[in-house]
Amino acid sequence: MDLLLLGLGLILVCLGIIGAFLPVLPGPITSWFGLLALHATKVVPMNWTFLGITLAVAILIWVLDYFIPAIGTKSFGGTKYGVYGTTIGLVVGLLSPIPFGMLIGAFLGAFIGELIYDSKDTNRALKASFGAFLGFITSATIKFTIAAIYFVFFVVQFWEYKSEFF
Total domains in the chain come to 1
Looking at residue 68, its pLDDT comes to 81
pLDDT class for 94, splitting at 50, 70, 90?
Answer: confident
Which is more confident, 26 or 54?
Answer: 54
- CA-based nearest residue to 106, from 61, 77, 138: 138
User: Are 65 and 16 a contacting pair, CB within 8 Å?
Assistant: no
Residue 99 has pLDDT above 90, yes or no: no
- pLDDT tens-digit series, residues 10-50: 999 999 999 988 777 889 999 999 999 999 999 999 999 99
Segments forming the whole domain that contains residue 112 = 2-165
Q: What is the DSSP letter of 41?
A: S
Q: Does the predicted TM-score (pTM) go above 0.75?
A: yes
Query: How much is the average pLDDT of 86-99?
Result: 81
C-alpha distances in Å from residue 162, one per residue of 44, 149, 159 = 10, 19, 5
- CA-based nearest residue to 74, from 131, 115, 120: 131
Cα–Cα–Cα angle for 56, 20, 48, rounded to 5 degrees: 25
Looking at residue 23, its pLDDT comes to 72
